[in-house]
Amino acid sequence: METNEIVIKISNEESEELLNKDCECKMYDDVITNFMSEHAHDTTNKAIESPMFKKFKEQAITAREQFSKAKDAVIDKYIDADTQKKVTRWSIKYSTAELVYSIE
């Protein structure tokens, strides 16, 4: 089967919102990864089980959920449900505010 790539211009506001949410998720991921590395050789789980770290993980989960909802909203706005079933991959180019997806 032949794969077709489709490019759709989205609003700059949508692109910026997604970029901000994506960066927030990456920040949480980086902090959690660094924290886990710093405590990799701890003899107890005290740091990982601390209320502060648990709260931080909750915030990371919330940020990931918000990013996912924002992505879904953009996809739903620009790609109809039948086409979404055929999409093999998609991405958003933040610098050009474009939704790029491939279908077979």
Largest CA distance in the chain: 55
User: Residue 1 has what pLDDT?
Assistant: 63
Kindly report the pTM of this predicted structure: 0.86
CA-atom Rg of the chain in angstroms: 18
Confidence class for position 92, pLDDT limits 50, 70, 90:
very high
Count of all residues that appear for the chain in the document: 104
Give the chain's domain count.
1
Pairing type for strands 4-9 and 98-103 reads antiparallel
Per-residue pLDDT averaged across 22-42, rounded? 95
Domain residue limits at 72: 4-103
CA distance 41 to 36: 9
